[in-house]
Structure 1
Amino acid sequence: MYKTLSLAAAALFAFAPAAMLTAAPEPIVVTKTVRTNPTLYFQGVPGDGELTRQMRSFLGACGWFDLSGDPKAEYVLSGRRESGRAVFTLTTGGAPAGSWGIPLTGNSRRMAQQMVDAIIQNTFKELKVKGFCSTKIAFCAETASGVKNIYACDIDGGNVEQITNYNALCVEPCWFPDGKAIGYSKYNRTGIDVIETRLNPKRSRVLTAFRGINTGAAISPDGRNLTVILSPDHKVDLYVMPIGGRTPRRLTNSIAVEASPCWSPDGREIAFVSDETGVPKINIISADGRNRRVLKSVGSDAVTPDWSGDGKIVYATRVEGVYTIAVYDLKTGENTRITQEPGVWESPAWAADNRQVVCKRSDGRRSALYVIDSWTGKTRLLVSTPYNLSMPAWSRAGSR
């Protein structure tokens, strides 16, 4: 008899609880890192308190510098207003390390994002770090019982914007590669559809509305295809289809339940979760349905994977009955647990710098969004509200 998933169960779709799992957990690999951030002293922009404030916010949020109050820090950044421009100069050990100018547009927040991106890319150019201060984080907020809507914020947790406004469950947000649209699953009276909402101007369309469930959509890096979980024959399997197309192509076909797909950076492979082995594990399959394999993971299960641009998969895993966050390096085959703080950590997603990870953390009362530095294990609160927040997704491109 095929494994089925009712719509009610799909609304809270999760794999079996720890008490039902039979496989023994594998040892956790914790890799200690010696990486540390350089210190940076920011002198501010005389006569422009708002630009100074926004620069401090994004210099802190980017995670690539440790802000210092010591003028003898490794880097010193100064700013000034000059002939309708804001000019910033970076020095290290008294020697010039870069200088940038930007027109004074009146949008201090946008100016700070652009300037901090330029500083990151110049300072860490040997690491080929992408500027990501203009990217966005989408997430779900449960504003009432049975009601979740999609919101988005900047990387410092500011500029929160409501994206959807339905009296329904809107979950599993995913970004289009251009950062200008969000896909998500919307629960209706008769089923679950995948919707796309363009951000500016706001307009929406249905991407999939097949019989049964339509969940877990992920957009390919070229923006042409989506992978989605469908159940047209009461089996919950992985499909891929062109965006705007009507004929999905089946990639899996078994009694197992599949969930949470994500694309490789080159669009050739898809990682997803399957309980085919009896417990949820991360699988990788070619976009044409061949070469399926199971990844080695830590903990009793492995769920909600996300694939970085440099070949790492971050995922949530259950350790001693509590979810935590781990990273699998596809190049080395090593697993690293990146959270050590208490709480339940779930739904991780990479930033475009391949270093920062946003996730949901629950403390037993409510859930908020946090950012984890995968190099150092440091965490910072991103967004906390009276509502439960969940399922964050980090865009790879700016939305403006």
Structure 2
Amino acid sequence: MGSVKRLVGGLVIASGIFAATVSTAGSAQFPGANGKFLFDSGLDGGLWTANLDGTGIVSLVPGNNSQNGDAAWSPFGGEKIVFKSDRFGVPATYGPTTDIFVVNADGSGLTRLTTTTSYQTQPSWSPDGSKIVFTSYRDGDANIYVMNADGSGQTQLTTSTAHDEWPSWSPNGAKIVFRSLRNGQDDLYLMDPDGQNQTRLTTDPSTEFQPTWSPDGLKIAFCSQRDGNEEIYMINADGTNETRITNNSFSDQTPEWSPDGTLLAFGSGRSGKWSIWTMNVDGTNQTLRVAQGTSNIGGASGYWQSISSAPTTTTNSPSTGAGTAVVPAFTG
């Protein structure tokens, strides 16, 4: 399922097939105040929520012998969470197959959106909450698909044989960024929401993956292996000003912007096991938020919930450092 090691625990739980309801107010999600963030556990396979300081850790979706991951809050307050699960998966090359599910923010209303015998993963909401873009292996290769928020209207956007993955919808809804191997190396690409006008964004020969838009839509944070291990980088949405944000000998992955645009959450192995960290968007003030307990924490990027929509702006510059801070260990 791709050539990169992923922090995400990988899969998810759910039951039933029902219609999902989402907020569709407005046409774009602007930067807002930071709410809770959620992560998936390497121990029980479930989804958990926590406060920014690492306190208040609560089980949202129990694993129940399944794996959950690739979660994303819906726009406008995070009323729903979309994620992938192997609950109804069948044995396959890379483990049980996965489908896309949605759940209410309080853990109720688990709803299955796709029904396949392949891998469905990496869902991302449209900014108005009406659609979900995701990666699917249903045609034998990894390609990008889109569907309505209730699972209807599933439509293929890319038709590559070179692993098109990691789609992320821009805040204004105009573009989708994704990773592709189509030119013999893993680079980032942009396309319109209907799959048209696919253009290359990065040209480095190393592996680039896990792109995510800043709330104002001006920048994209992503992970790159260009120095031999995974580090977090940033690039302008027009492809200019590539900047390295983390710089250490440990793997840093899964960057995720805070809704107010001032912080990046990410997963790091620097403490011996994967844990959740945050940092300023220039790489300073790297802070441990949720420490490992008895197992790895997967999906360790925080998946932040936006609780308002007041615009803000941010700036960034390169920085280094291993970071500090100690918070209560996660043992779930």
Range into which the TM-score falls when normalised by the shorter chain: 0.5 to 0.7
Alignment map for 1:107-186 (pairs within 5 Å): 132=77, 135-142=79-86, 143-146=89-92, 147-186=97-136
Q: 1:324 to 1:62 in 2, by over 3 A?
A: closer
> Structure 1: which amino acid aligns with 2:135?
S
2:113–2:150 Cα contact (<8 Å) kept: no
Distance 1:339 1:201 in 2: 33
Which consecutive unaligned segments of at least 5 residues does structure 1 have? 1-8, 17-60, 68-129, 355-374, 382-400
Shift in Å, 1:376: 7.5
Shift in Å, 1:205: 1.1
User: Which of residues 205, 217, 236 is equivalent to 1:286?
Assistant: 236
User: Which of residues 176, 183, 196 is equivalent to 1:246?
Assistant: 196
Shift in Å, 1:316: 0.7
2:220–2:237 Cα contact (<8 Å) kept: yes
> Structure 2: which amino acid aligns with 1:227?
V
Distance 1:353 1:376 in 2: 24
Instruction: Please identify which structure carries the higher strand content.
Output: 1
Q: 1:352 to 1:377 in 2, by over 3 A?
A: farther
* Aligned: 1:14 with 2:5: yes
C-alpha RMSD over aligned residues: 3.1
* Aligned: 1:211 with 2:211: no
Distance 1:297 1:337 in 2: 16
Which residue does the alignment assign to 1:351? 305
Which consecutive unaligned segments of at least 5 residues does structure 2 have? 8-48, 57-74, 309-325
SS of equivalent to 1:351: strand
Q: 1:190 to 1:62 in 2, by over 3 A?
A: closer
User: Which of residues 326, 339, 350 is equivalent to 2:277?
Assistant: 326
1:325–1:346 Cα contact (<8 Å) kept: no
Bigger mean CA deviation after superposition, 337-346 or 284-293: 337-346
Deviations 1:262-300 (CA, angstroms, capped at 9, x unpaired): 001111110110000111111100011100101036671
Provide the TM-score with structure 1 as the length reference: 0.55
Deviations 1:38-92 (CA, angstroms, capped at 9, x unpaired): xxxxxxxxxxxxxxxxxxxxxxx8969x99xxxxxxxxxxxxxxxxxxxxxxxxx
Distance 2:131 2:175 in 1: 14
Count residues in correspondence: 245
Shift in Å, 1:353: 3.5
Of the two, which has the highest radius of gyration?
1
SS of equivalent to 1:244: coil
Shift in Å, 1:201: 7.0
SS of equivalent to 1:145: coil
Shift in Å, 1:340: 2.3
Which residue does the alignment assign to 1:98? none
Aligned-pair identity in percent equals 22
Higher relative contact order (CA 8 A, sep 6+): 2
Q: 1:336 to 1:297 in 2, by over 3 A?
A: farther
Distance 1:152 1:275 in 2: 32
> Structure 1: which amino acid aligns with 2:275?
T
Distance 1:170 1:181 in 2: 15
Q: Which runs of 4+ in 1 moved over 4 A?
A: 61-64, 375-381
Q: 1:204 to 1:299 in 2, by over 3 A?
A: same
Shift in Å, 1:240: 1.2
Shift in Å, 1:380: 10
Shift in Å, 1:210: 2.3
Instruction: Please identify which structure carries the higher helix content.
Output: 1
SS of equivalent to 1:14: coil
Q: 1:63 to 1:268 in 2, by over 3 A?
A: closer
Shift in Å, 1:212: 0.9
1:312–1:330 Cα contact (<8 Å) kept: yes
Shift in Å, 1:193: 1.1
> Structure 2: which amino acid aligns with 1:166?
T
